[in-house]
Amino acid sequence: MNRRKFINLTALTAPLLSFSKVTESIPAVKPIMISTWEEGKNVNKAAWGILSEKGRAIDAIEAGAIYVEDKISCCVGLGGNPDRDGFVTLDACIMDENANCGAVAGLERIKHPLSVARKVMETTPHVLLVGDGALKFALQNGFTIENKELSIDAKKEYEKWLKKSTYKPVINIENLPVQVENKDGAFTMPLKFDDGSFNHDTMGMIAMDVSGNVSGGVTTSGMAFKMHGRVGDSAVIGAGLFVDNEVGAATSSGVGEEVIRTCGTHTVVEFMRRGYSPETACKKTIERIIKNNKARAKTLQVGFVAVNKKGAYGAYAVQEGFVYAVKTKQVDRIFKSAFFYKAPKSED
């Protein structure tokens, strides 16, 4: 390696060396359930009964999603923040151990989008249904239509946003102060609601059952105040979720556009296939996001979490603050993800 190459490489990796905190696991005993964010701990609990009774990973994923989608004060599901026109539009996807997958995007007024995605996977020749078509399909399959009122929290946030209607969405940067607009008018969502639940817009889940089969799912109301019709990574197989039963699985949270641009979770799984550990595979994918546009990456958050077939897990995020929950027979806790950019010191 010549000197110039070495200096360039050092410049690129220096932040990683100074800020990364290794959180990589020791291999866990099957079964294992992993979900994003603090709320993931409750999601894991909701899914655990199925896994501990030797049930299928795919059923555990759906149970976890139903739990969190039922929580009206959570940003996942119908309680989430609306788009710019005031509609809550949901994205979800699911993938099993046989590469079967299903997804819905821009689904309105249906409480359990991930269950609809599963129906798409199991009963249609398609992978993704959107908007009115997804709604029609849901109703035909026995899902009931819900009231279109916003949740109390979402209404409050939307009214606040309407005053300026700035379209500079900032999501999931946990290290910024709560409820502020910065000097550029960028809006930061409240970190925590009054009832203690957290404001994160995406629940990504991965499960490995006692048979060693891996499945995953994602459910979200998407980026707050997005354009009507915008679809994020959570409905896109290979972006917000990818499962390869020979290798493992990955899921993501954060700005979906960045995840789609890099085919994020597919990239993570392919790095694992090449022998990289889950954390390193996530890190190499995050580095691509940063390399694509460093200035843009500094102001956003994306986190990946992955598990390999041996049950080892790990995560990596653009910014400090991404966390994920793990449940096995021995472990039931929230882990801090390793990250590229350290949080700035809070001004308050």
Residues that bind ligand GLY (CB under 6 A): 201-202, 220, 222-223, 232-234, 253-256
Dist. CA 300–CA 344, nearest whole Å: 13
User: Smallest gap, in angstroms, from Cβ of residue 257 to ligand GLY?
Assistant: 7
Give the residue with the Cβ less far from ligand GLY, 265 or 328. 265
Find where tokens 């209607």 sit. Answer: 165
Could you tell me the smallest distance in angstroms from the CB atom of residue 88 to ligand GLY? 12
Q: Which is nearer to ligand GLY, 51 or 255 (CB)?
A: 255
CB of 302 to ligand GLY, least distance (A): 8
Tell me the closest approach of the beta carbon of residue 134 to ligand GLY, in angstroms: 16
Determine the 3-state secondary structure of 91 from DSSP. strand
Tell me how far the alpha carbon of residue 291 is from its chain's centroid: 21
What 3-state DSSP class applies to 289?
helix
Q: Give the separation between CA 309 and CA 289, rounded to whole angstroms.
A: 25
Question: Is the Cβ of residue 162 or residue 227 nearer to ligand GLY in the bound state?
Answer: 227
Q: Select 101 or 231, whichever has its Cβ closest to ligand GLY.
A: 231
Give the three-class secondary structure for 293. coil
- At its nearest, how many Å lie between ligand GLY and the CB of residue 305? 13
Which residue of the set 36, 89, 202, 265 is catalytic?
202
| Residue 239 or 326 with smaller CB distance to ligand GLY | 239
SS3 21: coil
**Residue (55 or 77) nearer to ligand GLY, CB:** 77
In angstroms, the Cα distances linking 149 to 88, 152, 155, 171, 173 are 9, 9, 9, 23, 27
Task: Work out whether strand 338-341 and strand 313-319 pair parallel, antiparallel, or are unpaired.
Answer: parallel
The conformation of residue 214, written as its DSSP 8-state character, comes to E
Q: At what angle do helices 113-123 and 57-70 cross, to 10 degrees?
A: 150
Work out how close the CB of 301 gets to ligand GLY at its nearest, in angstroms, rounded to a whole number. 10
Q: List all residues 6 or more positions away from 314 whose beta carbon is below 8 Å from its beta carbon.
A: 23, 24, 25, 277, 278, 279, 280, 281, 282, 305, 306, 338
- Containing H/E element for 10? helix 3-19
> Is residue 202 among the annotated active site residues?
yes
Structure tokens, 162: 């309407």
Q: What does each C-alpha distance from 54 to 32, 35, 47, 57, 118 come to in angstroms?
A: 11, 19, 12, 9, 20
Q: Which of 233, 320 has the CB closer to ligand GLY? A: 233
Taking the complex as a whole, the smallest distance from the CB of residue 126 to ligand GLY amounts, in Å, to 21
Any residues with CB less than 8 A from the CB of 228 and at least 6 apart, and which?
Answer: 83, 84, 85, 87, 89
Q: How far apart are CA 308 and CA 338, in angstroms?
A: 17
Active-site amino acid positions: 202
